[in-house]
Amino acid sequence: MKTLNTLMALALVAGVVTTVEAQTATINATARVLSPIAVGPSEDLRFGNVFQGVDKVVPASDVSSGQFEFSGSTNAQVDMVLTLPTNLFNGVAPMPIAFWSGLQGVNATRGTGAVFAPVSGSPIVDNLGAAGTDFYRIFIGATVSPAVGQMPGNYTNTISLDVTYTGN
């Protein structure tokens, strides 16, 4: 009888099937596309009249300094890279330009920007402003050095600024 009870108990246990149900979870994939960087009005770096053999300095704080202005998504981090020439040209005649100076910042002015030393190709990383109406400004100054026998005429070259979001 004991054996029969044991067999019946085993049969009952074997007949009981425990089911384990799979559990499912989900998550969402999200992204927010930022507004593009908008470049506003810029101002040329203006040396005006210069004399042969006499250096002329235009500081970044001067009204004749060059200016870049742009805006983008609130508080977004941006990478800014300046391309600075080493000469201005009148046709093929070069005139050296160097000793760059700069001011930068959100809503900066020629009197309130953070001082920096611009280096061609060297990235500057900063955040845009917290308000949707904020502008980031960079002011650029430099020194031109006309030679004693510098050919008279108008000299020019391009200063460029590339601004991209870093993703941070």
pLDDT tens column, 68-78: 999 888 888 99
Domain assignment present for 13: no
Domain assignment present for 102: yes
Determine if residue 39 is left, alpha or beta; phi over 0 gives left, psi from -120 to 50 gives alpha, anything else beta: beta
Domain assignment present for 145: yes
Domain assignment present for 45: yes
pLDDT tens column, 102-115: 999 998 989 889 99
The pTM of this model reads 0.80
pLDDT tens column, 26-59: 999 999 888 889 887 789 999 999 999 999 999 9
Whether residue 51 contacts residue 45, with contact meaning beta carbons closer than 8 Å, is answered with no
Whether residue 129 contacts residue 106, with contact meaning beta carbons closer than 8 Å, is answered with yes
Domain assignment present for 11: no
- Domain coverage including residue 125: 38-165
Domain assignment present for 31: no
Give me the pLDDT at residue 133, please. 67
Domain assignment present for 8: no
Domain assignment present for 157: yes
Number of domains in the chain: 1
**Confidence class of residue 65 from pLDDT cuts 50, 70 and 90?**
very high
Across the strands, what pairs with 39?
Answer: 70
Q: At 85, which CATH number?
A: 2.60.40
Any residues with CB less than 8 A from the CB of 134 and at least 6 apart, and which?
71, 74, 106, 107, 128
Whole-number mean pLDDT of the chain?
88
Q: What are phi and psi of 89, to 5 degrees?
A: -130, 145
